[in-house]
């Protein structure tokens, strides 16, 4: 059967109530990064029920993938990715399907992402005779915890055999009204350089600082000096930010601390700036510590690339969305300094991540990502599913 706009919308609307049930199951049963065992099992059971072949991922305890073959198996291969992990957040929403796991919550919309990609897999499987090619559905673990799960999936060979020619991803956006989409060509989300610094000084009495090496004083000088990397050593057109999220050290007010641990992150939208940052961070850490008689241990725990959307993939998504809905429903996404390890997939194949509107202030669906009050308008699931299905059909037409 040939597909058309009305048919896609009809099929997506018919599946929508079931997707809401999936989403609420995921929301009630969230699992943190690399512990998504029940989530993975639920996805696999649904794929088996729909007779969509599962791809085994070597050396991965969580996460899964599926492979849908069209009528022309030698054609192009598209990949569609969703993240599956939740966050260590105590949910404050008072809803019937509130998280049943204390201190864990889907506060970034991954429950919605999963429901949309599962829905797209179900619908496209039922329309596979219209596919002149193949589709891989990627259910990626650990997006929220560096070093992330994307690299592990790539190492497991998910982008090969057959080689993926294009990859799509999506992310809900609480600042965008439900029914709207947004896209941006080129750098869209920042690189992520996460690093930990341990400063080793020499403890002593607060009244005798000359007999000690004060790790807290060294840490304060280091943090202040690190900001000059951005203000004085990075091209102002290169955009960068360094943020220190935690600092731990000391035992008492009258004891000079001998050890301080700092956790930090650096972000940029510029690939050339990204290459500079590790070197400048290392030089500053070692230089400050050496000058004060302290020792430093610097560990880079993540180094995500810039997420850069390919214009051709964006154009395909935009045309697919505009064909189904209204061209005015597709907005321009301003680049953001948030990071996403979907960027690794974009280094393997051209593609794009689009934003999906979930905002509805009447029901409180206007809180920021990672808020304990994060909420979505579930109508967004229909829009995201229809858009992905149409884009896949157009790409493999």
pLDDT one-digit tens code per residue, 9-42 = 999 999 999 999 999 999 999 999 999 999 999 9
Residues 215 and 167 in one domain: no
- Domain of 105, CATH number, reads 3.40.630.10
Last residue of a domain, one of 304, 327, 362: 304
pLDDT-based confidence at 2, cuts 50/70/90? low
Distance between CA atoms of 30 and 105, rounded to whole angstroms? 6
Does residue 74 have a pLDDT over 80?
A: no
Residues 96 and 232 in one domain: no
Mean pLDDT across the stretch 384-394? Answer: 97
Residues 245 and 388 in one domain: no
**Which residue segment(s) compose the domain that 113 sits in?**
5-185+310-395
Residues 265 and 327 in one domain: no
pLDDT-based confidence at 70, cuts 50/70/90? confident
pLDDT-based confidence at 354, cuts 50/70/90? very high
Residues 24 and 162 in one domain: yes
Residues 147 and 73 in one domain: yes
Residues 266 and 350 in one domain: no
- Domain of 282, CATH number, reads 3.30.70.360
The total of structural domains in the chain comes to 2
Residues 144 and 210 in one domain: no
Residues 77 and 164 in one domain: yes
Mean pLDDT across the stretch 314-343? Answer: 95
Write down how long the chain is.
397
Residues 51 and 167 in one domain: yes
Q: Is 364 left (phi over 0), alpha (psi -120 to 50) or beta?
A: left
pTM for this one?
0.94
Residues 216 and 165 in one domain: no
Mean pLDDT across the stretch 209-232? Answer: 97
The half-sphere exposure of 329 on its side-chain side, counting CA atoms within 13 A, is: 22
Last residue of a domain, one of 259, 274, 304: 304
Distance between CA atoms of 287 and 263, rounded to whole angstroms? 18
- CB-based burial label for 210 (10 Å; 0-12, 13-18, 19+): exposed
Residues 181 and 194 in one domain: no
Last residue of a domain, one of 281, 304, 327: 304
What's residue 381's pLDDT? 98
């Amino acid at each position: 059967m040939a597909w058309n706009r009305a048919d896609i919308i009809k099929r997506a609307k018919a599946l929508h109530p079931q997707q809401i049930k999936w989403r609420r199951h995921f929301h009630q049963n969230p699992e943190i990064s690399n512990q998504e065992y029940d989530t993975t099992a639920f996805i696999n059971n649904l794929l088996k029920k729909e007779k969509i072949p599962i791809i085994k991922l070597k050396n991965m305890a969580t996460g899964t993938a599926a492979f849908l073959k069209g009528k022309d198996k030698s054609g192009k291969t598209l990949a569609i990715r969703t993240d599956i992990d939740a966050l260590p957040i105590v949910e404050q929403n008072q809803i019937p399907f509130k998280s049943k796991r204390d201190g864990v919550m889907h506060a970034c919309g991954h429950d919605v992402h999963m429901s949309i990609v599962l829905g797209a897999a179900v619908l496209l499987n039922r329309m596979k005779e219209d596919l002149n090619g193949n589709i891989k559905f990627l259910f990626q673990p650990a997006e929220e915890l560096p070093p992330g799960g994307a690299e592990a999936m790539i190492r497991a060979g998910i982008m090969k055999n057959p080689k993926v020619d294009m990859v799509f991803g999506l992310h809900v956006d609480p600042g965008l009204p439900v029914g709207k989409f947004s896209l941006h060509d080129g750098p869209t989300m920042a690189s992520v350089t996460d690093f930990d610094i341990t400063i080793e000084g020499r403890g002593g009495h607060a009244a005798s600082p000359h007999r000690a090496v004060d790790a807290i004083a060294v840490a304060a000088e280091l943090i202040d000096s690190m900001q000059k990397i951005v203000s004085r050593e990075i091209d102002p057109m290169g955009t960068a930010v360094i943020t220190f999220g935690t600092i731990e050290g000391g035992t008492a007010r009258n004891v000079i601390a001998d050890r301080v641990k700092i956790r930090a992150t650096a972000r940029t939208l510029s690939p050339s700036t990204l290459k500079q940052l590790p070197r400048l961070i290392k030089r500053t850490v070692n230089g400050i510590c050496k000058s004060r008689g302290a020792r430093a241990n610097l560990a880079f725990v993540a180094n995500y690339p810039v997420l850069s959307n390919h214009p051709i993939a964006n154009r395909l998504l935009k045309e697919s969305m505009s064909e189904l809905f209204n061209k005015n429903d597709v907005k321009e996404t301003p680049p953001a300094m948030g990071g996403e390890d979907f960027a690794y997939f974009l280094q393997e194949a051209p593609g794009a991540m689009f934003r999906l509107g979930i905002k509805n202030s009447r029901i409180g669906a206007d809180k920021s990502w990672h808020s304990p009050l994060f909420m979505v308008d579930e109508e967004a699931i229909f829009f995201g599913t229809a858009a992905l299905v149409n884009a896949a059909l157009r790409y493999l037409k």
